[in-house]
A = this chain, B = another copy of it.
């Protein structure tokens, strides 16, 4: 059984990773590569590292895409809602790697973006695609989570769900490699502006905060209040979430890790470990490393999650979702081993 696949937005970093995974996927057949400004060029011009570089880049337009079984959308915010809706309406299974359909209500969308969603009634029709935490099997429309929410939720959600987190603010300080900022040409992303320095950005106003609060609250008791501060660190890939949460009652570090182990039993892409994870261990694979430490002095638990922002945080998780949407094993075509150094 084989499925025809289109990648819309194939020229960006996440789109390139989707192409890489689909090329190695035994059941997916890549039939359309869509691009916007790079349309008309060759794949090798935007992704010289990929094989089959002589494949042409078509457009991101509905008519040009043709009938496909599955479409991956790797588009900037605000661009995927229309094409995603149209593709879904004509029967294509859609995995949106972008942010347009991640939030569950228009109210939350306004909180994150300061404006109404263009199709607010459609929001409820999309599944939030974090397969280790939410059921995706058989879904037709999946919005894959943001990279930061993926790292935060994999570490924190099992603890939150287990009821061990008390009232009070949850502090999620996160660190990302630069590819998380996309491939756009900006002064702030020049080598001379990034190398050998670290800084926070969008302090108090990053749009992933409402998404984290939504997803933590989706099955937990009540809705949490999260302070989310992202930092850009000088590396290409990798994302680390350090999530400090108030404890309701006494809890030991090993009890905290047992909660994580129970949550991910049998899930090949999440590994619970007994030390702080290094992002490098996850890079280039779809694997996440999570752990937790209880700080008895302060009465908090510090949960940590490490992923590759472009793989488990984007393209890999997208393919994992697609596998589940069509009834395949979630691991098909995806790397579990990473590589280092």
Q: Chain B residues near A179 (CB, 8 Å)?
A: 192, 341
Given A191-B190, A227-B298, A337-B20, the answer on whether A49 and B234 have CB atoms closer than 8 Å is: no
Given A196-B196, A235-B195, A341-B237, the answer on whether A185 and B187 have CB atoms closer than 8 Å is: yes
Q: Chain B residues near A304 (CB, 8 Å)?
A: 200, 203
- Bound together, the chains give a CA A50 to CA B340 distance in angstroms of 9
B-facing mask of A306-336, CB < 8 A → 1, else 0? 1000000000000000000000000000001
- Bound together, the chains give a CA A169 to CA B168 distance in angstroms of 10
Q: Which of B185, B191, B233, B337 touches A50 (beta carbons < 8 Å)?
A: B337
Closest B residue by C-beta to A177: B196
Within the complex, the shortest CB–CB distance from A122 to chain B, in Å, comes to 27
User: Which of A168, A203, A244 has the most chain B CB atoms inside 10 A of its CB?
Assistant: A203
Are A186 and B185 closer than 8 Å at their CB atoms? Answer: yes
B-facing mask of A262-282, CB < 8 A → 1, else 0? 000000100101001111111
Given A242-B173, A337-B20, the answer on whether A49 and B196 have CB atoms closer than 8 Å is: no
Are A283 and B340 closer than 8 Å at their CB atoms? Answer: no
Q: Chain B residues near A340 (CB, 8 Å)?
A: 47-49, 192, 197, 236
Q: Chain B residues near A148 (CB, 8 Å)?
A: none
Please tell me if A106 contacts chain B, counting CB pairs below 8 Å: no
Please tell me if A178 contacts chain B, counting CB pairs below 8 Å: yes
Q: Which of B173, B178, B194, B246 touches A169 (beta carbons < 8 Å)?
A: B246
Q: Which of B16, B50, B277, B336 touches A199 (beta carbons < 8 Å)?
A: B277
- Bound together, the chains give a CA A287 to CA B233 distance in angstroms of 21
Are B302 and A199 closer than 8 Å at their CB atoms? Answer: no
Q: How many residues of A contact B (CB 8 A)?
A: 87
Copies in the complex: 4
Q: Which of B168, B183, B227, B341 touches A236 (beta carbons < 8 Å)?
A: B341
- Bound together, the chains give a CA A183 to CA B339 distance in angstroms of 14
Please tell me if A240 contacts chain B, counting CB pairs below 8 Å: yes
User: Which of A47, A175, A278 has the most chain B CB atoms inside 10 A of its CB?
Assistant: A278
Please tell me if A2 contacts chain B, counting CB pairs below 8 Å: no
Within the complex, the shortest CB–CB distance from A287 to chain B, in Å, comes to 8
Q: Which of B23, B169, B276 touches A203 (beta carbons < 8 Å)?
A: B276
Are B199 and A278 closer than 8 Å at their CB atoms? Answer: yes
Q: Which of B13, B50, B281, B294 touches A49 (beta carbons < 8 Å)?
A: B281
Are B204 and A191 closer than 8 Å at their CB atoms? Answer: no
Within the complex, the shortest CB–CB distance from A107 to chain B, in Å, comes to 14
